[in-house]
Amino acid sequence: MVTNEFKNYAEEAIVHTYNRFPVAFDHGDGVYLYDTDGKKYLDFAAGIAVSAFGYNVEEYKDALKAQIDKLMHVSNLYYTEPMAEAAHKLVKASGLKRVFFTNSGAEAIEGAIKVARKYAFKKDGSTDHEIIAMEHSFHGRSMGALSVTGNAHYREAFQPGIGNVVFANYNDLEDVKSKITDKTCAILFETVQGEGGIYPGEKEFIQGVRELCDEKDILLILDEIQCGMGRTGKMFAYEHYGILPDVMTAAKALGCGVPVGAFVVGEKAEDALEPGDHGSTYGGNPFVTAAVCKVFDMFESWKILDNVNEISAYMDEKLKELASQYDVIESTRGLGLIRALEFNVPVNPYINKALEKGLLVISAGTSIIRFVPPLVITKENVDDMIDILEACIKEVNDK
């Protein structure tokens, strides 16, 4: 655990935008993290859905080491083999056409917004087009991403944002219809809402929005930053709904720890951006795209999707059993290995108690525990998590 002396030392030099847990991690192995005192933690947070393979994975590390020995950066003024290969792998996996690599999920959202606005601008030369985003959504904290994030508290100190953003209710097709005007250029949402409480999109809603976008020549942008890359049991969550977006954003497990994101465009929007419209000095450099290549290779060779589908069904069953035993738990929901337990009281005491007992879980709002573990977890890991969490519930409730 972190001593006050070390905490103060860190806080002296770091901008205080996070209220960090009182632990400093030193290394990881498999699905476990170890703090600087050597204490072991079962990880059901995965760096917020990033570390799909867990930690200290030799095959992944070797690929990164090999690329470090060759080349790490040359800028986007030149071609590199890892970038080309990674782009083709992502295009094949997504069913879309072209990729722009970014450094983060928020940057991917920024690029997707620019695609939508440029697509509309090329049609009529106007710059007053609107984007429909969803209430309770989360897309990042850069100015564009924040502007389409459906939480007024996050936005209020940084207004006016990029402007021309309208919010509709998620999973409410009629509300979305009511917000469409002749100025609407895109509809943007997470296929599974993450920070807003782990709410999967309803089939009628997602297919209905797809039809609206086709009818009115509006771009459908799906944020798959947290729910994509195998987390729901398919490579991308929109595959559950039998549709393709016009633009998709990815990050997190795309690099499994290396900071890389992407926006991927389909046929309708593949020529929206032209040379000079967008750029990134670091985006898609050989190091991060070598990681992306290895991630896709390992998803296939390790049969990650098969494991997600098997273990998620088991985890869903165990969470439902737990929920049925305690009045403090209202419900459980999710898709694949992005799951939620909703309580009728604040969950921070349970999360803090879990940390004390060597289990890492995180929240999604004040009353929801979020589970986004490495995609390689086993049934035994699920059993251990349930045992620890149940002990935490009992201890906190008995106080």
Helix, strand or coil, per DSSP, at residue 399: coil
Whether the pTM exceeds 0.95: the reply is yes
Q: Where is average pLDDT lowest: 103-107, 151-155, 378-382?
A: 151-155
The domain spans of the chain are 59-301
Which two structure tokens, joined as six digits, stand for 204? Answer: 């009628």
Spatial neighbors of 338 by CB under 8 A, at least 6 apart, are 49, 192, 194, 198, 226, 227, 231, 232, 370, 371, 372
Task: Tell me the chain's radius of gyration from C-alpha atoms.
Answer: 21
Cβ atoms of residues 375 and 337 within 8 Å: yes
Cβ atoms of residues 237 and 213 within 8 Å: no
Spatial neighbors of 296 by CB under 8 A, at least 6 apart, are 86, 89, 90, 93
Flag whether pLDDT at 1 surpasses 70. no
Cβ atoms of residues 146 and 154 within 8 Å: yes
Q: What is the pLDDT of residues 383-392, one digit of tens each?
A: 999 999 999 9
Report the alpha-carbon distance of residue 12 to residue 142 in Å, rounded: 24
State the CB neighbour count (10 A cutoff) for residue 361.
23
Spatial neighbors of 195 by CB under 8 A, at least 6 apart, are 137, 138, 151, 364, 365
Which two structure tokens, joined as six digits, stand for 90? Answer: 């992502």
Report the alpha-carbon distance of residue 312 to residue 318 in Å, rounded: 10
Q: What is the pLDDT of residues 99-152, one digit of tens each?
A: 999 999 999 999 999 999 999 999 999 999 999 999 999 999 999 999 999 999
Cβ atoms of residues 112 and 144 within 8 Å: no
The confidence score (pLDDT) of residue 398 equals 86
The confidence score (pLDDT) of residue 327 equals 96
Cis amide bond preceding 82, omega within 30: no
What CATH number is given for 59-301 in this structure? 3.40.640.10
Band (pLDDT 50/70/90 cuts) for residue 301 is very high
The confidence score (pLDDT) of residue 33 equals 98
